[in-house]
Structure 1
Amino acid sequence: MMKRIFQLLLSLVLLPVLYAGQPNFIVFLTDDQGYNDVGCYGAPNLKTPNFDRLAEEGVRFTSAYSAAPLCGPSRSALMTGSYPIRIGEPGNTKGLHTIPHTKELMIPEVLREVGYTSAIIGKWHAGETKTQGDPLSQGFDYFFGTPKYNGNTKLITDTKLRTSVMRNREVFIETVEQEEMNQLTTMYTEESIRFITENQDKPFFLYLAHNMPHTPLGVSDKFRGKSAGGLYGDVIEELDWSLGQILNTLEELDLDENTVLVFVSDNGPWIHEKIGDHAGSADPLRGAKAMSWEGGSRVPCIIRWPNIIQAGQTSDALITLMDLLPTFSALSGSDLPGELRIDGKDLTPLLTGTVVESPHKYFYYYCYTQLHAVRDAKWKLVLPRVAKPKWMKWRRLSIDAVKEIELYDLESDIGETTNVASMYPEVVDRLLRQVESARSELGDCDRIGSAARFYDSAPKRPGILEYKDWAASRKGEKL
Structure 2
Amino acid sequence: MNSLKLGGLLNLVLASSGRYYLVLGIILIFNTIAIAQGNNSKKEKPNVIIIFADDLGYGDLSSYGHPTIRTTNLDQMAYEGQKWTNFYVGASVCTPSRAALLTGRLPVRSGMASSVNRVLFPDSHNGLPQSEVTLAAQMKKGGYATAAIGKWHLGHKEEYLPTNHGFDSYYGIPYSNDMDNIVPFRSAGGYFEFWKSEKRKDINTFNVPLMRDTEIIERPADQHTITKRYTEEAIKFINDKKDEPFFLYLAHNLPHVPLFASKDFQGTSPRGIYGDVVEEIDHSVGQILDELKKTGLDKNTIVVFTSDNGPWLIMNEEGGSAGLLRNGKGSTWEGGMREPCIFWAPGRIAPGIVTDLGSTMDLFTTFSKIAGVDIPRDRIVDGVDLAPVLFNKESSARKDMFYYRGDKLYAVRVGDFKAHFITQDAYGTEITEHDPPLLYNLSIDPSEKYDISKENPDVIANINRVVKDHNDKMVKGKDQLAERGD
TM-score (ref. length: structure 1):
0.82
Question: Does residue 279 in structure 1 map to residue 324 in structure 2?
Answer: no
Q: Provide the residue aligned with 1:58 in structure 2.
A: 81
Cα pair distance change 1:53/1:20, threshold 3 Å: same
Question: Does residue 169 in structure 1 map to residue 209 in structure 2?
Answer: no
Question: Does residue 438 in structure 1 map to residue 438 in structure 2?
Answer: no
2:168 aligned to which of 113, 122, 141:
141
CA distance in 2, matches of 1:398, 1:61: 33
Q: CA deviation at 1:151?
A: 1.7
CA distance in 2, matches of 1:398, 1:257: 50
**C-alpha contact (below 8 Å) 1:374/1:435 kept by paired residues:** yes
Q: Provide the residue aligned with 2:417 in structure 1.
A: 379
Cα pair distance change 1:336/1:262, threshold 3 Å: same
What does the per-residue CA deviation read over 1:367-421, in whole Å, with 9 as the maximum and x for residues that have no partner? Answer: 1111110001100001145x57xxxxxx743766455520000010010000000
Q: Provide the residue aligned with 1:257 in structure 2.
A: 299
Q: Which one has the largest radius of gyration?
A: 2
Cα pair distance change 1:156/1:29, threshold 3 Å: farther
Cα pair distance change 1:26/1:60, threshold 3 Å: same
Q: Provide the residue aligned with 2:227 in structure 1.
A: 185
2:239 aligned to which of 187, 197, 203:
197
CA distance in 1, matches of 2:397, 2:116: 27
CA distance in 1, matches of 2:415, 2:301: 30
Q: CA deviation at 1:89?
A: 6.0
Superposed counterparts of 1:98-109, under 5 Å:
99-109=127-137
Aligned-partner SS, 1:228? coil
What is the letter of the counterpart of residue 169 of structure 1?
A: T
**C-alpha contact (below 8 Å) 2:112/2:480 kept by paired residues:** no
Q: CA deviation at 1:438?
A: 2.3
Question: Does residue 370 in structure 1 map to residue 397 in structure 2?
Answer: no
**C-alpha contact (below 8 Å) 1:30/1:211 kept by paired residues:** yes
Aligned-partner SS, 1:53? helix
Gap regions ≥5 residues in structure 1: 1-16, 389-394, 443-448, 455-459, 464-479
Q: Provide the residue aligned with 1:323 in structure 2.
A: 362
Q: Provide the residue aligned with 1:157 in structure 2.
A: 199
Q: CA deviation at 1:93?
A: 9.8
Q: CA deviation at 1:336?
A: 2.4
CA distance in 2, matches of 1:89, 1:243: 29
Q: Provide the residue aligned with 1:73 in structure 2.
A: 96
CA distance in 2, matches of 1:344, 1:162: 36
What does the per-residue CA deviation read over 1:272-305, in whole Å, with 9 as the maximum and x for residues that have no partner? Answer: 1xx2210110010001000000000000000011
Q: CA deviation at 1:441?
A: 2.3
**C-alpha contact (below 8 Å) 2:206/2:220 kept by paired residues:** no
Q: Provide the residue aligned with 1:420 in structure 2.
A: 452
Q: Provide the residue aligned with 1:348 in structure 2.
A: 387
Aligned-partner SS, 1:181? coil
**C-alpha contact (below 8 Å) 1:97/1:368 kept by paired residues:** no
Q: Provide the residue aligned with 2:373 in structure 1.
A: 334
**C-alpha contact (below 8 Å) 1:123/1:149 kept by paired residues:** yes
CA distance in 1, matches of 2:481, 2:41: 52
Cα pair distance change 1:344/1:77, threshold 3 Å: same
CA distance in 2, matches of 1:347, 1:353: 10
1:110 aligned to which of 134, 138, 146:
138
Q: CA deviation at 1:101?
A: 0.7
Cα pair distance change 1:110/1:462, threshold 3 Å: closer
CA distance in 1, matches of 2:247, 2:42: 16
Cα pair distance change 1:437/1:116, threshold 3 Å: same
Aligned-partner SS, 2:398? coil
Aligned-partner SS, 2:381? coil
Q: Provide the residue aligned with 1:96 in structure 2.
A: 118
**C-alpha contact (below 8 Å) 1:19/1:258 kept by paired residues:** no
Higher mean alpha-carbon deviation, 429-438 vs 113-122, is at 429-438
CA distance in 1, matches of 2:471, 2:175: 30
CA distance in 2, matches of 1:363, 1:169: 36
Question: Does residue 119 in structure 1 map to residue 163 in structure 2?
Answer: no
CA distance in 2, matches of 1:320, 1:149: 22
Aligned-partner SS, 2:100? helix
What is the letter of the counterpart of residue 341 of structure 1?
A: I
CA distance in 1, matches of 2:91, 2:198: 25
CA distance in 2, matches of 1:28, 1:52: 15
Cα pair distance change 1:211/1:337, threshold 3 Å: same
2:51 aligned to which of 28, 31, 36:
28
What does the per-residue CA deviation read over 1:87-121, in whole Å, with 9 as the maximum and x for residues that have no partner? Answer: 1469x999633732111100111111121111111
CA distance in 2, matches of 1:227, 1:307: 33
**C-alpha contact (below 8 Å) 1:32/1:213 kept by paired residues:** yes
**C-alpha contact (below 8 Å) 2:207/2:219 kept by paired residues:** no
Aligned-partner SS, 1:288? coil
Question: Does residue 397 in structure 1 map to residue 453 in structure 2?
Answer: no
CA distance in 2, matches of 1:347, 1:50: 24
Q: Provide the residue aligned with 2:349 in structure 1.
A: 309
CA distance in 2, matches of 1:108, 1:100: 13
Cα pair distance change 1:399/1:331, threshold 3 Å: farther
Q: CA deviation at 1:21?
A: 1.4
Question: Does residue 291 in structure 1 map to residue 331 in structure 2?
Answer: yes
Q: Provide the residue aligned with 1:5 in structure 2.
A: none
Q: Provide the residue aligned with 1:472 in structure 2.
A: none
Note the aligned Cα RMSD (angstroms).
2.5
Higher mean alpha-carbon deviation, 284-293 vs 423-432, is at 423-432
**C-alpha contact (below 8 Å) 1:345/1:360 kept by paired residues:** yes
Percent of residue pairs bearing the same amino acid type: 37
